[in-house]
Amino acid sequence: MTSEPELPDPYAPAGEQPYGTTPPPPYSQQPYGQQQPYGEQQPYGQQPYGQQPYGQQPYGQQPQQQYPPQPGYAAYGPTAYAPGPGTDGLAIASLVCGIVGLSLVPLLPSIAAVVLGFMGLSRVRTSGQNGRGMAIAGLVLGAVGVAIILLVIVLLVVAGVFAANSPDFSSAV
């Protein structure tokens, strides 16, 4: 039978320790004269000053050893890819004008979105650039904005005609 050290009772009243044992020190303090084992320990997630975590190279420094390429094989390294065709600027402008035409200023940006949408679609077809979806979305948003403005104008004219022909309006003036 092995003798295990007895742990203090965590449910014992404060100040009382069973069997005459000394109370443990507070959580973050070591008794005077005792040192921490294995040298000074750093808090979690912090590295001692001057050390890089997990063997990473400091910024701006290259790895120490470069191996020459094997005979008969090309050198290994980053390969350069040609940039893609990009997105057409007219398609982007059409989408932005369509969004602005529906949210902030209704008439002029909506008309600009329709015009830029048609121009962007034709340029995307001829140049092979990306942005067909943006041009279509700007065209649709612009058309919806123009339709809403025309509907509001028609409703205001009809309401004005009905109000002018109303007997209550003519007698009030």
Which DSSP state fits 71? T
pLDDT reading at 28 higher than 90 = no
Alpha carbon distance 51, 49 (integer Å): 6
Q: Is the pTM of this model over 0.75?
A: no
Looking at this protein, which amino acid is placed at residue 132? R
Q: Give the integer Cα–Cα distance in Å for 92 and 117.
A: 9
How far, rounded to the nearest angstrom, does the alpha carbon of residue 146 sit from its chain's CA centroid?
A: 33
Q: How would residue 45 be classed by pLDDT, with cut points 50, 70 and 90? A: low
Task: Scan for tokens 């701006």, then name that residue.
Answer: 60
CA distance linking residue 97 with residue 143, whole number of Å: 11
Taking only the tens place, the pLDDT of each residue in 99-153 is 999 998 888 999 999 999 999 999 999 998 999 999 999 999 999 999 999 999 9
> If you average pLDDT over every residue of the chain, what do you get?
76
| Highest mean pLDDT pick, 45-54, 77-86, 88-97 | 88-97
Token pair 């092995």 is found at 2
Q: Are 94 and 140 in contact (CB under 8 A)?
A: no
Question: What's the Rg (C-alpha) of the chain?
Answer: 39
What is the SS3 assignment for 10?
Answer: coil
DSSP state of 38: T
Token representation of residue 101: 């035409």
CA–CA distance, 88 with 121 (Å, rounded to integer): 9
